[in-house]
Chain A
Amino acid sequence: ETGVTQSPTHLIKTRGQQVTLRCSSQSGHNTVSWYQQALGQGPQFIFQYYREEENGRGNFPPRFSGLQFPNYSSELNVNALELDDSALYLCASSLETGAQTQYFGPGTRLLVL
């Protein structure tokens, strides 16, 4: 186990709703990255938070937003949910930003109906 935890494990929402996913990083890790993994594909980078600031963003619209807290835990918020947002959302923590190993949590499975 990596020590990275995510909640909830599963979630069902309807189109247009908003969702908040949560992640607790591994002890001592100050960097959290979020990824979206569609069924049968590799994870896609959404963004990274380092010391409570966004530190890089992938090709995702502004309705995907995040926060990092002083204890380095993080939230991913998605507004105006679309059917294509259905995916496994993965959180990964690392000791620092840059070329560091990222350790993944178990993910949150989101289904948008």
Chain B
Amino acid sequence: DVKVTQSSRYLVKRTGEKVFLECVQDMDHENMFWYRQDPGLGLRLIYFSYDVKMKEKGDIPEGYSVSREKKERFSLILESASTNQTSMYLCASVKGTGGGYGYTFGSGTRLTVV
């Protein structure tokens, strides 16, 4: 069964900490994404990557960075966590560059910053 795996289901971090959220996919997909999900706001795109070492800003990149050193792994980094980054974070991947395919999502990481 193909899979997108997020390393943590729940995380609690302190304000100012550097936080790493890890995502691994086993489908050899070129494209990977990080979204955050907040009630009433839906899924908002933070960053995406269409190839190893390539990254593009999404709609809300402020306060975040990403790393993609290997095709299967896409990491989201909160440089200095703040309480307004408390949220559900979802990783997704999809094949190809021509469009028209559905994403496969991970189960999410619920991050609480205190």
Same assembly: no
